[in-house]
Amino acid sequence: MLKIIDRYIIRKFLTTFFFMLGVIMILATVFDLAEKLSEFIENDASLYEVVVEYYFNFIMFYANMFSSMIIFVSVIWFTAKMAQDTEIIPIWNSGRKFSRFVRPYMIAATILMLISLAFNHFVIPRSNKTRLAFEERFYRNTISVQDYHAEFPGNQVVYFKSYSASNNLINNLVIEQWNDKGEIVSFIKASTAENKAGSDKWVLNNYYKRDVGYPTDRIEEGASMDTTFQFGIEEMATRENIAEAMTYFELKKFIERERFKGSAMVPMYEIELYQRTSYPFATYVLTIIGISVASRKKRGGIGINIAIGLGIIFIYIFAMKVTTVAAMNLGFSAAISVWIPNLLFSGVAYFLYQKAKR
């Protein structure tokens, strides 16, 4: 059962967190608007589109992304303030254990962690679909792809020289169909190809088609042909942040398909998937570090606690970047790489926790 001191700390934790979150998101929105306002005006974006479709989802995305860091700073801030105002000393004098003092912090951290976990896997991806669609319409550069090569399910190999979303045309498309014995059974080549939006229907221009096999070998040529394939252009011409708009189950399915195709982007998609879980769980680690650092009154006041906290955040972010690069370029497991910073800082949290108890 929660006591008065528990409710007091939980209330301080949550109100400080949401206050800091609000301030930081307001500043982020102002800076982003200052940078993109001219493009919004130039492309005739309406007020509704800018506010509702873009900035509402912009705030949701970045607020959730940086929530663990903001939780850390919030814990240090209000705990250091309590220590400076000698609110914590009576708790020690009452004979309570340090672990009992930590309990309301962990309750509040669990509430925020569960919210972040649900948002990461299911709410934010749906929100990102609207935000990314807005970005495509109003200020992102046109998607283009060069020298594409991939294998699709059904032993179908696809090549093309180039693609530009500005005219929705593929240049020099080649599609090979192989059987399970490793023998080619059909071959299609087109000077240009166009995928009809939102479908698997294609138009091939100046095409050459050959069905291989004796005695049924057949060649067909023509100026234009309507056909269907088991893929659309959206699978071949995508931005790196496409995974941000997929829920947990959609992303799992997408990763399996990209792995089958031999995509070099699979590690990045896996990092996106695993970070959605590792970031919320970092809340526990950073909360314990924050309590341990800020629960003792220091000669330098709150400022020294904030300085220590910011230093730890920078090291944590650096560790995340290093392990992410290792997963992308050195072949490290994405799951292990994403969780390494949490494991390392768990050791730091344990050391500081034991020191604070004394």
More confident residue, 269 or 317: 269
Which of 185-199, 237-251, 267-281, 308-322 bottoms out in mean pLDDT, i.e. has the lowest? 308-322
The average pLDDT across 252-272 equals 89
Domain boundaries, the chain: 4-139+265-357, 144-238
**Given pLDDT bands bounded at 50, 70 and 90, which one contains residue 6?**
very high
pLDDT of residue 278: 93
pLDDT at 91 over 80: no
The average pLDDT across 187-198 equals 91
* pLDDT > 70: percent of the chain: 98
pLDDT at 11 over 90: yes
Euclidean distance between CA atoms 217 and 14, whole angstroms? 72
pLDDT of residue 299: 67
Between CA 309 and CA 105, with CA 286 as vertex, the angle to 5 degrees is 110
| pLDDT tens per residue, range 163-180 | 988 888 999 999 999 988
The average pLDDT across 174-192 equals 91
The average pLDDT across 100-117 equals 95
pLDDT at 1 over 70: no
| pLDDT tens per residue, range 282-314 | 999 999 999 988 887 766 667 777 788 778 888
